[in-house]
Amino acid sequence: MGITKQGLRLLGTHAIMSLVLFIFMPSLLGLFENEIYQWVIGLIYIAIFWLIIYADMSNKGLDDAKKDAFAPYKGFIAGLIASIPGVILYLLAIMMKSSTGSINWGAIVLRVWLVPYTKLFLAFENMMPEIAIIPIALLPLLSGISYIDGLRKRNKILKAIEKAETMRAEKSKVNMSLQR
């Protein structure tokens, strides 16, 4: 799978996760007025989102390592491609912020796109939409580091196979000496 295709796949993953979390966010955050509960749910949403990105990109890195097509930059570029809608929405929200007296539809759509970070955005409401650039910038970093972790997984698998082969060779030597 090429870098562009992987970036578009990551973009689709982001879109699906945002939609699913958008559906469940109001019910879980609004369930209790307890601030600690809301922070826990907000952090769980972020963790789930990051875990899915990690699993997707690390598996892609593992696959590329198996095919000898691994390049460390691929995950970062895929993350940059997946960040394009967020950057566009961010710029739109910034431009619309200067319009006084009107609803900032750019900021609303940006919040929906970045719904896993809703609790953070609510906590730093006075810094919106400027603070939204942080999660947008984290996506390429997270996807790149996760992709590189696929190589670590591949090396770990190869070492386990090598160890198993060594153990099997040792067992066969012992069996050969017992048969004599």
Give the pLDDT mean for 8-24. 86
The answer to whether residues 133 and 90 touch, using CB atoms and an 8 Å cutoff, is yes
The per-residue pLDDT for 78 is 94
| pTM tops 0.85, yes or no | no
Residue 100, pLDDT score: 61
pLDDT at position 162: 86
Average pLDDT for residues 136-148, to the nearest whole number? 95
Is the dihedral angle over the CA atoms 107, 118, 149, 58 positive or is it negative? negative
Average pLDDT score over residue span 157-168: 85
**Which pLDDT band holds residue 99 (cuts at 50, 70, 90)?**
low
Residue 47 predicted with pLDDT over 80? yes
The C-alpha atoms of residue 54 and residue 78 are separated, in whole angstroms, by 13
Q: What is the mean predicted confidence (pLDDT) over 166-171? A: 76
Find all residues with CB under 8 Å of 46, minimum gap 6, and list them: 116, 117, 120
User: Where residue 45 falls among pLDDT bands split at 50, 70, 90?
Assistant: confident
Chain mean pLDDT for the chain: 86
pLDDT in tens, 27-39: 666 666 778 888 8
More confident residue, 97 or 175: 97
CB atoms within 10 A of CB 166: 10
pLDDT at 169 over 80: no
Q: One-letter amino acid identity for 21?
A: L
